[in-house]
Amino acid sequence: MVIVDIDLYNKLLEVLESSEIPDTSTQKYVSEFLENFDKSHADSALYFLEASLSSKSIHARQMAALRLKNCIKNGNISGENLTLLKDGLKKALVTSDLVNVFSGCFAALFGILGFKNWPDGVRFLLSMLDNNITAVSGTLTIIVEDCISENSEPFNIFLVNELIPKLMSISILEGLPFVCRILGILLDSEVGRRHLLDEKFGEFWQYLCNLGTCNDAAVCKFVVTSMGKIWNYHPAHLLASSEGVFRYICLQIDHERASVRLEAVDFWSNILKVKEDSECNLQLIRALEPILPMLAKSLLDRTRYTDWDYMSMDESHFENDNADVPDNLEDIKPTRSCRDDSADGDDDFVEISGNTWGNVWTVRKGAALALDNLALLCGNDARFIQLVIGLIESKFASSDWEEQESAVLVLGAIAPGCLKLLAPMISRVLPKILLLTRHDKPLMRSIALWCASRFCPWVSHSSNCLEWVPKVIEALLGGIMDRNKRVQEAACSSLAIFMEETQSNFGPNLVHIVATMTRALDYYKQRNIMILYDTIGTLFEFHGHEIVSLGLGGGLLEKLVNSGLMIEINSPQFLSLIDCWNLMVAAVGVAFHEHILKTLEHCIKTLVLVLNDNAMVLSGASDVDVNWSVFEVSTDFVASAIQALGNNVMASLSKVWLVSLDGFPHYSQQVGTTACELDLILVHGAMQSQKAAVVQSVLAAIGHVCWICPCMLKCTQVLMLITNSLVAPVCAVANNAAWALGNFASQNVLAHLLIPLYEPMCHGLVHILQRWSQNRLLVQNALTTLSKITLLNPNGMLPFVSLVLPQWGEKLLGFLQSTGNDVEMVPCIEALLNLVAMDPIHMQLIPAALIQVLKGHSDPAVKTALQKLLGQP
């Protein structure tokens, strides 16, 4: 390389070599010289490059290479200097013993230039793969990751025509882990999947089959991962080759490396999920037949605790008596109870196994989940049951408690899928499980409690419930009062599942349940009390009416209310406790009335506290994170209370509607008043948080207020929030906005607020009909609200007829064609027909097919409106 100033270069070498001298003055001099050298010489990168290649001192070469990397990141290198630098870096990767450092320099320069300006850089790295994969693997990996994220068309062309073919041409053993790493990066990207699983799928499939002969852990893991992705895109292709593929992945369950074993069990837990396509399920069952014994045994063998499982747990899993040990507050995270009816059956398994038996996902948990899904798929096959039960019995027969524990885990995993065929033996097995809930090992007690809850459909059956419900509940309640905190956690979660899924009347058992819950509130530490709140909420959600009818729960309610009034809003337990309030008030209704005033006051005060915190942040008086989740859950309680108590809440709500802002100076200054009405407080929270969950909760609360006590809503900003939320990108927000607007339109006392906003309301509702056309509930809400605002002020709708009628007519037609004479849609039909009748020219704006469908409608009001429109007597 040409050095312009040889004396300057020699001086640089001298300084770099002196950097080995450890005294402070020399180090200071070296640092200052190199810093000045960077700033005062535009071609400093070339000097550092030459020094990093030519110096006789390894320390000097390392120092120069590191300075070179800084020059590349910070400097503007162009023209001839850039060309020289590119050539020099290529040479360095080939000849230097500092490959790792120069790989970083190469990647840094490529990161600045990009593929568009230096495509030959990547091509050079590809050319080196045949001779020195080690030298370029790290650099190429970084570059491919960066280019994939940019998703540029030139790189995509290079990817298909050069990179993928080159990678799949590499067959040398030492190069395969690198190839798998790059192909794995591509599979994790949308553009990479498109090429590998679509355009080049044939070549990719063949390459995977060739890789199947390699036992390297990275390669095996990649093959299994790839087969899992292929299942999502080409299940038929995988099933056609299942004999070889399934056997291969079955063998990987027993691979010597845990990472491969985990990938293998996760593959099975994924593909064994029951599909909506029954034919695909049947094909999968047939494909599994040859390897089912091997698969079942391998999965069962992996359900025993390993050292890795124990390493993922803290000491609390093993201590028999730690109930009085305070929790580490830093480890406690706020939680909210989440119940999603659309969730799949894995949720209760993952939730408990993820929290109670270690904090990371392990092979043991993956194997148990795979068995769970396998049972759901094959649970009606007597051969499968005989096979698995035989393996479980051999584990139960062992004197090793870990083997027995593994058997309990497997039995609980397969129970929901095999319940019918297991039924004849449950009465013999369940007593053993319940006995194990009192085992001397906390881990055994935890798993036995969970296993017992998995049999709840059988336990709660009419022929079994009288005998078995009390026995199971007794065991679960014993676990709740256990001296080990992890057993407590498992018991609470298991009881919640049992209550949620059990259809029987708990009757006398509720006395013991309520009493135990009340005692546990005084007994639990910070972390588990959040789980207990969730369990109590579930108790009231599913059995609240029984509790009230039996005169139970008064003391429990009072204790929970008083706890909530004393707890700090930023405490981790606050969200769980107010969620519990929500479920209680929704379940028991007027039975909560004696607590309603103080709970409403507390939640409203919490709303103002959050807004005051936000005002402090906006004014620069604080930099704390505003806890909008607290605002959300408090708003939810206001909505739940109004909905559950109906007219009984009006007196209490009127007392708390006007909120004093004394003690909240920043919020008071922000709004310019010393008192603020609740509807405006809710609107401020929705607008300032900019969080969909908060807006959704606020809209629900406003909708309930509007329905129960509309006279309290005088703030025009409320209606502006609703109108703006109609076009929100989040379905739940748009749905609540449409519903709340419908409630407004049902109240004549609020008509004067609505009329000036007909234009944005119409645009918003039409937006819903277009944007969310596949969401049946939301479309119905929008159609209902359209009919309400039309009936409220038909003349006010006339300017917007051409906007609303085409979508209204089209969606109404679709609704009627799928549901027939839906009584709920009659007001919507009447409103549309009456609007069209105001000017016959409007007939052309609705589908002719709608009129034909309505001619066959059975409702008298619809017939009358249609006859009026068509001018028929």
**Per-residue pLDDT tens over the stretch 41-67:** 888 889 999 888 888 888 888 888 888
In a domain, 176, yes or no: no
pLDDT of residue 570: 87
**Per-residue pLDDT tens over the stretch 574-595:** 999 999 999 999 998 888 889 9
Where does a domain end: 98, 130, 149?
98
Please report which residue ranges of 96-132 form alpha helices under DSSP H: 99-117, 119-128
- The number of beta carbons lying within 10 Å of the beta carbon of residue 643 is 18
Question: At residue 75, does pLDDT exceed 80?
Answer: no
Residue 321 phi, psi dihedral angles, 5° rounding:
-135, 95
The mean pLDDT of 78-82, rounded to a whole number, is 84
CA distance 292 to 288: 6
**Per-residue pLDDT tens over the stretch 650-684:** 889 999 999 999 999 999 999 999 999 999 999 99
Domain residues for the domain of 40 are 1-98
Q: Domain tally for the chain?
A: 2
pLDDT of residue 262: 97
The mean pLDDT of 710-715, rounded to a whole number, is 86
CA distance 862 to 826: 7
Nearest CA to 639 among 586, 676, 595?
586
CA distance 312 to 332: 17
Question: At residue 871, does pLDDT exceed 80?
Answer: no
Confidence of residue 344 (pLDDT cuts 50, 70, 90): very low
Question: What tokens appear for 508 in the block?
Answer: 């006398």
CA distance 267 to 248: 12
Ranges 82-86, 325-329, 416-420, 828-832: which has the least confidence: 325-329
pLDDT of residue 872: 58
In a domain, 815, yes or no: yes
pLDDT of residue 340: 41
pLDDT of residue 136: 85
Nearest CA to 388 among 450, 300, 447, 303?
300
Spell out the residues 6+ positions from residue 311 whose beta carbon is closer than 8 angstroms to its own: none
In a domain, 483, yes or no: no
Question: At residue 21, does pLDDT exceed 60?
Answer: yes
pLDDT of residue 662: 94
**Per-residue pLDDT tens over the stretch 754-804:** 889 999 999 999 999 999 999 999 999 999 999 999 999 899 899 999 999
Ranges 194-208, 500-514, 699-713: which has the least confidence: 500-514
CA distances to 14, 44, 235, 783 from 5, in Å: 14, 11, 66, 81
The mean pLDDT of 150-156, rounded to a whole number, is 87
| Burial letters 542-568, b for 16+ CB under 10 A, else e | bbbebbbeeebbeebbeebbebbeeee
In a domain, 40, yes or no: yes
CA distance 228 to 240: 15
Spell out the residues 6+ positions from residue 481 whose beta carbon is closer than 8 angstroms to its own: 488, 516, 519, 520, 523
The mean pLDDT of 68-73, rounded to a whole number, is 87
Tally of residues, the chain: 873
Which long-range contacts link 264-267 to residues 24+ away (Cβ below 8 Å)?
A: 264/224, 265/299, 265/302, 265/363, 265/366, 265/367, 265/369, 265/370, 266/228, 266/366, 266/370, 267/224, 267/225, 267/227, 267/228, 267/231
The mean pLDDT of 238-257, rounded to a whole number, is 96
In a domain, 769, yes or no: yes
Question: At residue 338, does pLDDT exceed 80?
Answer: no
3-state class (DSSP) for residue 567:
coil
Question: What tokens appear for 565 in the block?
Answer: 């009034």
Question: What tokens appear for 852 in the block?
Answer: 């034909």
Under 8 Å between Cβ of 742 and 785: yes
Question: Residue written as tokens 């030459």?
Answer: 50
Question: What tokens appear for 830 in the block?
Answer: 């009447």
Half-sphere exposure of 365 (CA within 13 A, CB side): 21
Where does a domain end: 98, 131, 146?
98
In a domain, 59, yes or no: yes
Ranges 128-137, 341-350, 600-609, 845-854: which has the least confidence: 341-350
| Strand duo 658-660 + 675-677: pairing | antiparallel
Question: At residue 79, does pLDDT exceed 90?
Answer: no
Question: Residue written as tokens 């607290």?
Answer: 630
The mean pLDDT of 436-464, rounded to a whole number, is 94
3-state class (DSSP) for residue 659:
strand
Under 8 Å between Cβ of 526 and 572: yes
- Read off the amino acid at residue 263: E
CA distance 98 to 96: 5
- Read off the amino acid at residue 617: V
In a domain, 389, yes or no: no
In a domain, 140, yes or no: no
Under 8 Å between Cβ of 306 and 356: no
Question: What tokens appear for 511 in the block?
Answer: 């006395």
Nearest CA to 610 among 570, 573, 642?
570
The whole model's pTM is what?
A: 0.83
Spell out the residues 6+ positions from residue 843 whose beta carbon is closer than 8 angstroms to its own: 836, 869
Confidence of residue 329 (pLDDT cuts 50, 70, 90): low
Question: What tokens appear for 676 in the block?
Answer: 């603020």
CA distance 227 to 187: 11
Rg (CA), the chain: 34
Q: Does residue 271 or residue 501 have the better pLDDT? A: 271
Measured between its terminal Cα atoms, the distance across the chain in Å is 101
**Per-residue pLDDT tens over the stretch 358-377:** 568 999 999 999 999 999 99
Q: Does residue 641 or residue 871 have the better pLDDT? A: 641
CA distances to 586, 661, 763 from 811, in Å: 33, 47, 15
Question: At residue 492, does pLDDT exceed 90?
Answer: yes
Where does a domain end: 98, 125, 148?
98
Question: What tokens appear for 812 in the block?
Answer: 């109404």
Please report which residue ranges of 397-464 form alpha helices under DSSP H: 401-436, 442-453, 456-459
Q: To the nearest whole number, what is the mean pLDDT of the chain?
A: 90
